[in-house]
Amino acid sequence: MTFARNAWYVAATPDEFADKPLGRQICGERIVFYRGPGDQVAALEDWCPHRGAPLSLGRVVEGKLVCGYHGLEMGCDGKTVAMPGQRVRGFPPIRSYPVLERHGFVWVWPGDAAQASADKLPALPWADNPQWAYGGGLYHIGCDYRLMVDNLMDLTHETYVHATSIGQKEIDETPCQTRTEGDEVVTSRFMNGIGAPPFWQMALRMNGLPTDQPVDRWQICHFTPPSHVMIEVGVALAGRGGHAAPPQAKASAWVVDFITPETEHSIWYFWGMARHFKPHDPSLTTQIRDGQGRIFAEDREMLELQQRNLLSHPERKVLSLNIDAGGVMARRIIERIVAAERAAAPAAA
């Protein structure tokens, strides 16, 4: 496998299994998510020890996961609890996974449970902060997760893929700078004295700012393992300090990208935007989410067809330019982490 396992991945949002179990494949593992006793989130191998049926097709009764095939009841620890008319206490347990509900997401640790710790969750300064508003969604995309990391760490493609929303020629014309800070890769681009593209005109207007004046625009992409990309974005009225401008002179946000591998060639893509202006306006949240959803749908088409081409021509090498530095550095970090996990696996077996 090409992905790290000893890490927290976003597996779902709480509403996805509010009334029934949810089956989802994460890093090649088929997992069922549900709410056990006390409404706590639980994650088990999606496999009934009786006949191998997917437990995600069952239901939850008094905190126990009941198989939808023959009624076998599972506990949150992966041990069989009961089955109508049968003696099943000796059944071998199935795997349970470390799982947490934080920041509006459900996180799962598909690797060594002994290494899982809540302290290893990513820091999200906008989460649970009343001065920020968040809205987002989920796409299933048929591509290698690293292609999405490449896409988000090189925003030059906005000029072409997103020409009617966030793209503009100044992105092409302005060089980006890339650096590493430990296991974090940061790619930044600052564009000064330009016109705001349609999406940012809308954001300025909704924040009570004029749309007919030059702006300073910024894009600062942060990659952190295993596959998270957070992007600081925004525009400020030109000459007011750009990225450091006061709140009343700008519209700024974080583009949130949690990329969770499903298989080698498919992902669960949890996207959204956390904004730092008009946080108590739900209609604005909806408007931004709808606009952002359309933008990411354009990425989905490009990435899925790119993946198809790469699989059709495995002998061909893709080329890297200076604009690809962020993705290249991110891949090196991923490769190092995956290699370290593989090297440690025999000792842990």
Structural domains in the chain, sorted by start = 9-119 (2.102.10.10), 126-339 (3.90.380.10)
For tokens 């049968």, what's the residue?
86
User: What's the length of the chain?
Assistant: 349
What's the pLDDT band for 324 if we cut at 50, 70, 90? confident
Comparing 293 with 147, which gets the higher pLDDT?
A: 147
Q: b/e per residue, 273-295, with b = 16+ CB within 10 A? A: bbbbbebeeeebbeebbebbeeb
Q: Which amino acid is at 103?
A: H
Dump strand ranges (E) for 103-226.
105-108, 133-141, 177-181, 184-194, 215-224
The pLDDT, as a whole number, for residue 349 is: 44
Distance between CA atoms of 220 and 177, rounded to whole angstroms?
Answer: 9
| Token pair belonging to 278 | 């008009």
Q: Got the DSSP string for 254-274?
A: EEEEEEEEEETTEEEEEEEEE
pLDDT tens per residue across span 25-41: 999 999 999 999 999 99
pLDDT score of 170 more than 80: no
How many other CB atoms are found less than 10 A from the CB of residue 134? 22
Work out the average pLDDT over 186-192.
95
Q: What is the pTM of this model?
A: 0.92
pLDDT tens per residue across span 56-97: 999 999 889 999 999 999 999 999 887 787 777 778 899 999
Distance between CA atoms of 324 and 296, rounded to whole angstroms?
Answer: 20
Work out the average pLDDT over 197-207.
89
